[in-house]
Every structure is written in structure tokens, then in C-alpha cells.
Homo-oligomer: A and B are copies of this chain.
Amino acid sequence: MNMDMTYEQYASEVKNCILTDAGACPVTSLLTMLQGKWKFQIIYELCIKDPIRFGELQRSIKGITNTMLTASLRELERDGLVSRIQFNEIPPHVEYSLTDMGRDLLPVFYEITKWGFKYIP
């Protein structure tokens, strides 16, 4: 399965996902996990720099508050996309990484990026 797939083949594959049954649809599930203003950017930063500390993550994502960063990370962690490692040091030291499940989102991002470079000036 490669880039030579036709639209019809893509559509046929995608069609297997039954969005009407909201609870069971993988697309819906993923989108729910990635809902919110900051989730994609967090995943993106983790793609680029992994592991990354809380502070650096916050500096990388312009405009995010510690409140929102914490809340978003907690949800991503709960959903299994991100893992958190706490070092018991003073001052505190926490590192965030993508799980395997999270890393497997890279092809999704890759397709988005390809699309973007084609259409966004």
C-alpha cells in the first residue's frame, strides 16, 4: 500500500470506519483524544523533541498557560498517547514522551504536512 493508491481505494478503506456509531469509530476516538486547542501542538513538539521537560514544552508552545498544559498532558496521558516520568529530584524534574501509540500518529502528521505544503502558500 503506497502513494500510488487512488482516491477510490482510499475512500474504500476509509469507508470501513463507521462514524455513525460514534462510540466505536476509530476516527472519532482519535479526534476526541486530540480535541482541544493545544493537543496537536503538544504531540508535534514531542515528535520533534522526545523526551521533553514541562518547562521547555511550555516555552515551545507559544501562548499556552501552565494550567492548560497540565490539563492537556493529563488527558493525553490518560488516553495513552503520552507518558510521564517523574524524577524525584529537587528542584522537580519531569519528562514527557510519546508512547508507541503516540508515535504511530507520525504518518498522520506526515500526510497532513504533505497536504499543507501542497495547498497552503
- On A, residues with C-beta under 8 Å from B are 1-3, 5, 7, 10-11, 13-17, 19-20, 22, 24-27, 29-31, 40-41, 44-45, 47-48, 60, 62, 80, 101, 103-120
- CB of B47 within 8 A of CB of A15, answer yes
Describe A's contact surface by its main secondary structure.
helix
- CB of A115 within 8 A of CB of B119, answer no
- CB of A117 within 8 A of CB of B44, answer no
* Contacting residue for A113 out of B17, B47, B105, CB 8 A: B17
Scoring A17, A29, A40 by chain B CB atoms within 10 A of each residue's CB, the highest score goes to A17
* Contacting residue for A62 out of B5, B20, B27, B40, CB 8 A: B20
